[in-house]
Structure 1
Amino acid sequence: MLWLWPFAVTFVVSGFGMAGSLLGRDELVTWDMVNRSTGQILATLQNVDAVHGTYYLLMHMWVGIFGDSVVSMRLPTVLAVSAAASVVGLIGNRLFGYRAGILAGLLFAFVPAVSRYGQEARSYALVVLAVALATLLLLRVLDKPSGLWRWAAYSLALTFVGLLHLIALSVVLAHACMLAAHARQNRSLWWKSALALMAVGACVTPVALLGRSQVQRQLWWVPKPGGWDLLSLLHDVCASTLCAGALIALALFARSPRRAPLFLCGAWALLPAVLVWAASQGAVSYYRQVYVLFTLPAWVLLAGAGLARVCRSWKATAALLAALAVLALPDQKQMRQPFEHDVPVPLDYAAAAEVIASGYRPGDAVIYDRANTWKLDGGVQYYLPSDLKMRDVFLARTPAEINELYPLQCSVPVQCLKDERRIWLVTQGTDFPFNALDPGESMALQSRYTVSMSRPVTGMTVSLLVRGGGRDSRQKS
């Protein structure tokens, strides 16, 4: 079956080693959000991350059924990229024929970025699936423009795209080009497509307005892209120089008796990225390679068509696919490194949690460095045993309590200290642990505690503070 082989191969490739890398900071945000109540999630979205709200709500239901293990958190995205590969195969069959379709689906499976984001508990894999599905439904609409249910299905899929990630709606530019080209023969497409897009716009406008009000807060750190960023787009989207080069080379051989297939794939591959790049030249940059990951299916569709044309026999095709898979192995291996989801600042939350768990005694408390890093506390808490509970000394209110992503710290640290004899201190880096803290917190601690033990792990240091004495110890173990 056309859809089965791409699904199965993508599931095996992207599912392999899915629990091997630690949860990244963004995944820890997902974990935090989905473990809140529905009311708390909706309240938080009023303040931050509205553009990811649909994903959080879907994952909230998933985690409620299947739990929040690493495999459970990442399985939906593995399934999403696998389903996307099937949809790519179906689109390829419609545009270029059966052989090109199945080859496009298989090529999609071997792209390292598919494994990278197929193994991440964020919305981007679902966005790729939603865009591919919307494009397939658009082709069905063009087969029979009078079909009301086809228009409804297309509008629903496109709405889902916008609710998952607003930037992905830039694919509408490619869809509009395709609709306009067909409207020359069928003028009813003008008003039908206008009604469909207006319905989509009405559904996503509330999220767009809310997201717009939060954009400075969420994207302030994204740099403005230059010309080279646009030229190197496919390299960044594939997460592999080799795969990008192979897709471009094969795409150059793509041919079709009709202009429409090449026109659609070309517009899908290029126009959204150019639009996002141009929009990022203003006060806010929206240009990150993962935000335009949904253009990847267009590239593999062209490459699949090119491969079907270059290699006439299945034996030659299989040999070429096997060679590409082998050559991509180093990049595939890189996608599964322990800290790949926290590049470029790796933090070994699991090792830090193990240090604490092995030395824990009832009554111990904990302090996390929240001045220098984000989600260090959540990362360590995720990997600690669920029954190991410690008072977070300088935590005034949790993010869930204030409907935010960040906690509220104690304003007068000395007043938040109680009579704990031992406190675990988790800081980023390997400097003397007190140096990583806010000056007020550092002074409060140094007046009552000394460092009994300090153990570095990748990216951070776990120290044990014991009550008594006013002199700082710099002992390492």
Structure 2
Amino acid sequence: MTSVIAPHLVAPPVPGRRLWRRLSPAWSAGLVGLVTFLVSFAWSWQPSYWGDEAASVMSAERSLPSLFGMLENVDAVHGLYYLFLHGWIDLFGASELATRLPSAIAIGVAAAGTVVLARFFMGSRVAIAGGLVFAIIPRVTYMGSEARSTAIATAIGVWLTVLLVHAVRSSAGSRRRQILLWGSYSVLLALGIYVFLFLALLLPVHAVAVLVLGGRHPLWRSVFFWVGASAIGLLLAAPIVLAGSAQREQIAFIGRRPQVSVSEAAVMQWFDTIPVAIMAWSLILVAVIAVFLRRPGRPLSAGLPRRTGLTIFLAWMLVPSAILLIGTHLIAPMYSLRYLSLCAPAVGIVIAVGVAALASNWLRVASVLALVAVIVPAYAVQRGDYGKNEGSDWRQAADIIAARATPDDGVVFDQSVRPSRLPRLAMHLYPNAFAGLRDVTLTRPYADTTWLWDEVAPLTDVLPSVVNLNTVWLLQYSGSADSRKETDVHTLQLQGFRVADTTLVNRTRIIEMTR
């Protein structure tokens, strides 16, 4: 019976494959980065904002004193990103295209780093393929089109790992060079933790990398330098670690969610849908079988044993996930899908190894086409009008208000849902649509608070505010069964209003009430 796994991962050179060898490492990494940027950037402006992006944009639009006051109470772990976005919005505005662009750029940078990293352990074709597979992973295309810090943190994580491998490989160099490399590692590690606290999950992975690379390089020296550099990096990041610990109640919502099973994580963590997960895990299994479960072949073209590289990438995939899953079940809720986004570069590389391990070109082409085919529907959903947070529709709701409301109308927002789905946030993300409307229940705008959101009062407590209004618009979250929504309608009816029209957008219900 013919095996579907190739006898080795680096095929003998043939004339049709010379193009890969003509591309310099810098050019191939740059081109993959550009393609990845375009994949993430394309139609990124199409979906409406959602709650986490509202936190980013609204925080960044505060004055600096207001922002620093907020960070003392909440979201300190995102403070550096909010400061960056503050300046970015001053330059480019707060549209979806503008605020999501940095994430697309960061994903391109991460893809370039993925190619550079993979080249340490394998040939050019597999390294380039790893970068391109990374580009289309659903978790990657999602975070590359989102105004959050995850994509930037992923880029830092990739290049931090590149720096680590380069430092270990150069461990026999001069002391001055070692100090420069490991000092850079400390600074980049600290920066990454300031951008995204959970980037510290890469440290156990880097411990594995140092140990498995020690067979080829002076182990004691590498361990000594890595431990020292990591300690300095953590010391530099201590302020944000302490701030995050002090504000840990902010992620208490994780404990109110059903605990994630291993099977759910296997699908949703990176792949979004079951067909994508089946294809991806099948290729990952092929990679493991080809590398570990047969007689060792010759080393890959970069000069390192292929088992070494795959061990590092598998550790990168699995160790952070295992830490969060085990910690959630045994200690306290800490697992969230997006926290493991920084493992996606390793996922792309291992899948590419699986493709390269297949025995013939037609199998490789078929596997890639099948992978792309199952990813395209997920990509299309992400780029739809309602591609964020299972159907956020705030821009579309704002468009209806802009078209139908008139200045001096009142507006009342449903407060019965969790903050990330509050219809009120539409007013801050698309302020032009609500210009001139009277916010009936507002008691204190968010920019004057040390919290993320506005302070509001129940409608029944501010009835004098509607006395002189002829029209009031109610924006309600349709997925909530809270009785307060009906109470708001009934309260206005008692004040002489009637329901003139009701419009369901996607999950936002707009009720026009007139006297």
Q: 1:248 to 1:444 in 2, by over 3 A?
A: closer
> Counterparts in 2 of 1:283-294, with a 5 A limit?
284-294=332-342
What amino acid is the match of 2:414? D
What amino acid is the match of 1:240? T
2:435 pairs, out of 388, 413, 437, with 388
CA contact (8 A) 1:131 1:168 kept: yes
Does 2:309 match 1:261? Answer: yes
2:4 corresponds to: none
Deviation at 1:87, TM superposition (A): 0.8
CA contact (8 A) 2:40 2:144 kept: yes
Structure 1 stretches of 4+ with a deviation exceeding 6 A read 430-434
1:357 pairs, out of 398, 402, 407, with 402
Does 2:150 match 1:102? Answer: no
How many residues of Structure 1 are paired with residues of Structure 2 in the alignment? 462
Deviation at 1:433, TM superposition (A): 11
CA contact (8 A) 1:398 1:407 kept: yes
CA contact (8 A) 2:100 2:145 kept: yes
2:478 pairs, out of 415, 421, 429, with 429
Partners of 2:81 and 2:337 in 1: CA distance: 19
CA contact (8 A) 2:427 2:433 kept: no
- Structure with higher RCO (Cα < 8 A, 6+ apart): 2
Q: Deviations over 1:436-462 (max 9, x none)?
A: 0667x9647733533333333222222
SS of 1:187 mapped into structure 2: helix
Deviation at 1:293, TM superposition (A): 1.4
Q: Deviations over 1:214-264 (max 9, x none)?
A: 2223332445776x7224434222223333333333333353732421221
1:162 corresponds to: 193
Partners of 2:61 and 2:490 in 1: CA distance: 32
Deviation at 1:291, TM superposition (A): 0.9
1:11 pairs, out of 21, 25, 37, with 37
1:121 pairs, out of 147, 152, 157, with 147
What amino acid is the match of 1:70? E
CA contact (8 A) 1:81 1:128 kept: yes
What amino acid is the match of 1:83? V
Q: 1:232 to 1:430 in 2, by over 3 A?
A: closer
Deviation at 1:99, TM superposition (A): 1.6
> Counterparts in 2 of 1:152-231, with a 5 A limit?
152-182=183-213, 185-222=218-255, 229-231=261-263
Partners of 2:436 and 2:170 in 1: CA distance: 60
1:452 corresponds to: 500
1:244 corresponds to: 277
Deviation larger for 78-87 or 451-460? 451-460
SS of 1:400 mapped into structure 2: helix
2:105 pairs, out of 79, 100, 112, with 79
Partners of 2:389 and 2:450 in 1: CA distance: 25
RMSD value over aligned CA atoms? 2.8
1:475 corresponds to: none
SS of 1:284 mapped into structure 2: coil
Does 2:46 match 1:20? Answer: yes
2:424 pairs, out of 377, 385, 408, with 377
Deviation at 1:395, TM superposition (A): 0.4
Q: 1:365 to 1:83 in 2, by over 3 A?
A: same
Partners of 2:251 and 2:39 in 1: CA distance: 32
Does 2:61 match 1:35? Answer: yes
1:49 corresponds to: 75
Deviation at 1:272, TM superposition (A): 1.0
Partners of 1:342 and 1:400 in 2: CA distance: 25
Q: 1:312 to 1:155 in 2, by over 3 A?
A: farther
Partners of 1:71 and 1:297 in 2: CA distance: 24
Partners of 1:3 and 1:199 in 2: CA distance: 30
Deviation at 1:427, TM superposition (A): 1.8
CA contact (8 A) 2:58 2:428 kept: no
CA contact (8 A) 1:224 1:287 kept: no
CA contact (8 A) 2:60 2:85 kept: yes
What amino acid is the match of 1:89? V
